[in-house]
Amino acid sequence: DVKVTQSSRYLVKRTGEKVFLECVQDMDHENMFWYRQDPGLGLRLIYFSYDVKMKEKGDIPEGYSVSREKKERFSLILESASTNQTSMYLCASSKRTGGFISNQPQHFGDGTRLSIL
């Protein structure tokens, strides 16, 4: 089974801190994603990456950056945490396919509940 591991289930940080959320997958997947989930809003894409050192902005990238130095690891960085970044953060990965409609699902980690005080 695919395993996507997020470094923390719960995290509390202070306003202005630089925050790192780490995600590791063990299935050699090319694609990795960071979402945030807020009640009533569903999941919204922050950033994604389809290869090492590659990154693409999602729908809500402001205030975030990412790093993908190794294939298995995708880090989300809050440059200067603010209270409106209090949320549930979900990391996902998927295998690359192409040439036909891909039925590959995204596999998710257990999520990190981040509180910014």
Among 58, 67, 71, 77, the residue binding another protein under the rule CB under 8 A is: 58
CB of 10 to another protein, least distance (A): 11
**The token pair that represents 108 in the structure block:** 């998710």
Q: Side by side, which strands form the sheet with 4-6?
A: 4-6, 19-25, 73-78, 64-70
| Interface with another protein, residue 40, by CB under 8 A | yes
Among 68, 109, 114, 116, the residue binding another protein under the rule CB under 8 A is: 109
> Beta strand pairing status for 19-25 and 112-116?
unpaired
Which residue type, as a one-letter code, is found at position 82?
Answer: S
**The token pair that represents 87 in the structure block:** 């949320």
| Interface with another protein, residue 92, by CB under 8 A | yes
Nearer to another protein, 24 or 109 (CB): 109
**The token pair that represents 31 in the structure block:** 């694609």
| Interface with another protein, residue 26, by CB under 8 A | no
> Beta strand pairing status for 112-116 and 10-13?
parallel
Q: Which residues bind another protein (CB under 8 A)?
A: 30-31, 33, 35, 40-45, 48, 50, 58, 88, 90, 92, 94-111, 113
